Amino acid sequence: MSIRPWTCERCRRPCSYLGLQLLAGQESGATYAVGWGCSACDYKALDVCPLGPLVPSDAVCLNCGAAYPSTAADAACPGCGLTRAGALAFLHPEPVPAEPGAAARDFFGRGLFRRGLAVLNLALARDPGQETPWLLKATVLEGLGLQSHLLTMFEGALAAGGPASLLINYGSALHRAGRHEEAVAASRRYLDLAPDGPWAGAAHSNVGLALRALGRHDEAEELYRQAIRVEPGQVLHYRNLAQLLIDQQRWAGALGALEAGLERATAADDKIRLLEGLAFVCAEEERAGQALEYVDRAVALGAASGRTHYLRGRALALLGRLEEARDEVRRVLELEPENAEARQAMDMIQKALAGV
């Protein structure tokens, strides 16, 4: 049921939460399964649960999401047979806590997804203007891979009175779905509603991403620069601009964007990505010493991906340090055996070492 921990059918002990997976994903609805396992024996079980309402209200069942046939208090859900009171008694979402998001996170962490979603749904049915419960529901839908359900939820949430900030997430989801014109419209709608809102920078950046996907690169560049002007401390805006300039082989502009982002970056992951970007641009300009310096700074921060080793190998090869370069590319292939660029690089290095 994922309302309370599953009990082992052999040991009669509470099981541990193992994971979440999609069981079925028809457009008309979806079911998911919560995995449970007993620590005392090898017993395992899948608890199959209905997804519940995407857009909760008093008109739909809190348990399965089907619409009630009437407003009568004793009306039975045509999907699962529960009345409104019966669904509340079964799912135990009451009393709704002052911070339903915190309660739901606690339930999710323990595998009690059905109960956590019920808490969020009841809170939203009573006040759809809350942001956190919608975003937590979105996290679950994304984790299950239900992108079409995610879009439907955001559309319904906004129609039901959800906060304008949801337009940012809606726009991102539309972009991922390849619906770029609609993504532009969603983010611009946020800017119309809240031109100086806390998500204005993200909205400009999202419009830029969608315009770039549509091939409108000059407009995308201006939107990225506008995002930086609005939110100069957000490193992602600099990375977006730099990537556009890199794709256009505008190396000086890309270096400037990456360096500006690096000055503002505080998280190690952000610094690593920016340093690797700088290393790539320097390698393209055949400034091997600077490329190696940048990638070594990334390594000092913990970078160890295939990209890291490839960039380091490329810089070493440009410096003529072919044996060291070969070692780096060999590491790439250990991490990513199908990496075509690394295979080609290894072939070139081997031929150079053999004097071919």
pLDDT at residue 228, as a whole number: 98
Does residue 356 have a pLDDT over 80?
no
The per-residue pLDDT for range 57-88, each reduced to its tens digit, is 999 999 999 999 999 989 999 999 999 999 99
**Whether pTM exceeds 0.85:** yes
181: left (phi over 0), alpha (psi -120 to 50) or beta: alpha
pLDDT at residue 26, as a whole number: 47
The per-residue pLDDT for range 17-30, each reduced to its tens digit, is 999 998 765 444 57
pLDDT at residue 221, as a whole number: 98
Please give the mean pLDDT across all residues of the chain.
Answer: 94
The per-residue pLDDT for range 107-153, each reduced to its tens digit, is 999 999 999 999 999 999 999 999 999 999 999 999 998 999 999 99
pLDDT at residue 29, as a whole number: 55
* 9-13: average pLDDT: 91
pLDDT at residue 353, as a whole number: 92
Q: Return the exposure string of 35-50: e unless at least 16 CB atoms fall within 10 Å of the residue's CB, then b.
A: bbbbeeeebebebebb
The per-residue pLDDT for range 24-52, each reduced to its tens digit, is 654 445 789 999 999 889 899 999 999 99
144 or 263, which is more confident? 263
pLDDT at residue 94, as a whole number: 84
Domain boundaries, the chain: 1-163
Contact call for residues 111 and 5 (beta carbons, < 8 A): yes
pLDDT at residue 15, as a whole number: 94
Contact call for residues 158 and 55 (beta carbons, < 8 A): no
Task: Categorize the per-residue pLDDT at 1 as very low, low, confident or very high, splitting at 50, 70 and 90.
Answer: low
Please state, for a pLDDT cut of 90, what percent of the chain lies above it: 90
* Three-state SS sequence of 7-44: ECCCCCCECEEEEEEEEECCCCCCEEEEEEECCCCCCE
Contact call for residues 303 and 276 (beta carbons, < 8 A): yes
Tokens of 245: 């300039």
CA pair distance 141, 117, nearest whole angstrom? 11
| Beta-ladder partners of 44 | 37
Output Rg (C-alpha) for the chain, integer angstroms.
26
Contact call for residues 333 and 313 (beta carbons, < 8 A): no
Sign of CA dihedral 214, 202, 272, 249: positive
pLDDT at residue 28, as a whole number: 45
The per-residue pLDDT for range 267-326, each reduced to its tens digit, is 999 999 999 999 999 999 999 999 999 999 999 999 999 999 999 999 999 999 999 999
Residue 319 has a CB neighbour count (10 Å cut-off) of 14
| Contacts of 115 by beta carbon, 8 Å cutoff, 6+ apart | 2, 3, 4, 91, 92, 93, 107
